[in-house]
Homo-oligomer: A and B are copies of this chain.
């Protein structure tokens, strides 16, 4: 067991903006997150990645083109885009003009938060794990919030 006992704590917050290019799109943001961790100079601690939106998701999985296609197909099947009679998309019940109920519901299933350990100055990720951002109602500009706490 590795243990560290210290007297100075760092709390670092950084937000970065990304432009999605499609309605539904999965982007590997591991490098951006790692760069922010390195510049924060925290060697042991916890890193939190949160989307500041309600129609995109953050999660950890393998980043592979074929698998991303399978993920989109699954989302289309579990939470259809059209014909589902969403009240959020119906002007009689909602003032939302984007008609994006399916985007909200897909985000609720995938989650919008990733929490990782930082150990020895590295993110605690396995060999095939990437931090993935899923745009579910693009194209749009999105803010990703990173909170780092540690020593």
Which residues of A pack against B, CB within 8 Å? 1-14, 36, 39-40, 44-46, 48, 50-54, 59-62, 64-67, 69-71, 73-74, 78-79, 84, 86-88, 90, 93-94, 96, 101, 104-105, 107-119, 124-129, 143, 145, 147, 149-151
Chain B contacts for A127, CB-based, 8 A: 52
CA gap between A60 and B79 in the complex, in Å? 18
Q: Would you give the shortest CB distance from A28 to chain B, in whole angstroms?
A: 13
In the A-B complex, the 7 residue pairs with the closest CB atoms: A117-B147, A52-B126, A66-B87, A11-B44, A66-B94, A66-B93, A13-B119
Q: Would you give the shortest CB distance from A103 to chain B, in whole angstroms?
A: 10
Docked-complex contact A48 and B11, CB < 8 angstroms: no
CA gap between A147 and B122 in the complex, in Å? 13
Docked-complex contact B67 and A104, CB < 8 angstroms: yes
CA gap between A109 and B143 in the complex, in Å? 23
Copies of this protein in the assembly total: 3
Q: Would you give the shortest CB distance from A68 to chain B, in whole angstroms?
A: 9
User: CB within 8 A of A117: which of B61, B111, B126, B145?
Assistant: B145
User: CB within 8 A of A147: which of B73, B88, B113, B124?
Assistant: B124
Contact A54 B65, CB 8 Å, known A4-B11, A10-B3, A13-B119: no
User: CB within 8 A of A64: which of B11, B50, B94, B117?
Assistant: B94
- 5 further contact pairs, Cβ within 8 A, besides A53-B128, A111-B111: A5-B9, A13-B124, A46-B46, A59-B112, A109-B110
